[in-house]
Amino acid sequence: MKAVKLSVISAAVLLSTSAMANVITNTGTAVANGTRTVFKTLTKPAAVSAEVGTLGYGANIAWAVNDTTELQAGWAGGNIASSINDNFDANGVNYQVKTDFSNPYLGVQMRPAANWFTVGAGVIVPDNEIEVKANPQSNGTYRIGGKEYDQNDVGVLEGKLEHRNKLAPYLTVGFRPNINNNWGVFGEIGATYLGKVDAQINNVSNRVVTSTDNSTITNTSALADQAERDIEAKKYANWFPIAKVGVTYRF
């Protein structure tokens, strides 16, 4: 798995580096020839797009580097958990998820075969709020650390998750057919590496509790600590899937 991670991250970095090299070369040539300046390029984008997907709802703007490469700057976010997957399990405990995503990104979009097929790479600057709340089992208990505890004794287990990466590389593949001279649609799939997750689970009661089989006596703070370790061990969304569709208007 480590090798796969390194391969994907390396591919994203290499593609981004290659595209940026093309940008520098083409911009330098354009300035030298007097046919295109940096100012003109930035003030005359090639396209704008609206998108919806696993990173949220958003939009991006693209600038043409050449006939097969574009620079993209965009943002996607919002409460997307309810639309994709609003719960997960960590060592026997089910957690309800509420999100407020904010994912600015900068990348390149390439058409290596000069057709509908595209490859995208770049970096996301994630600022995502992820709130979780433990759901008791159907019999009214939490199963934590291999032991069951009555929900009424434990109280509420809730908190926040935060991924460590401040810059998250991403890689996607997709298609971008044109409907006419101006309008087109697109779809992309891929992944971004958000890094390890830090969990903070709180329990305000801080009282002594006993497991339902009377074999273990502990306190609710210790159970909250165990819940944090279980979530972090699960590696929740370290690799976050990217799947999105949208519409593009080309100038």
What backbone torsions phi and psi does residue 151 show, to the nearest 5 degrees? -60, -40
Q: According to the model, what pLDDT value does residue 39 have?
A: 52
Is 184 within 8 Å of 115 (Cβ atoms)?
Answer: no
Q: Look-up: residue for tokens 């995502």? A: 128
What is the H or E stretch that residue 64 is in? strand 56-66
Q: 210-244 b/e with 16+ CB inside 10 Å = b? A: ebbeeeeebebeebbbbbbebbeebebbeebebbb
Interatomic CA distance for residues 96 and 91, integer angstroms: 14
CB-based contact 135:96 (threshold 8 Å): yes
In whole angstroms, what separates CA 80 from the centre of its chain?
11
* Residues 112-127: b if buried by 16+ CB within 10 A, e if exposed: eeeeeebbbbbbbebe
Local mean pLDDT, 10-residue blocks, the chain (251 residues):
43 46 47 49 82 95 94 94 83 92 97 95 96 93 92 93 96 96 97 96 88 94 94 92 96 92
Place of tokens 């593949």: 173
Asked whether the beta carbons of 79 and 100 are under 8 A apart, the reply is yes
pLDDT of residue 45: 86
Please tell me the predicted confidence (pLDDT) of residue 29: 47
pTM of the model: 0.78
Instruction: Map out the domains of the chain with their CATH numbers.
Output: 2-250 (2.40.160.170)
Q: For residues 169 and 123, what is the distance between their CA atoms, to the nearest angstrom?
A: 4
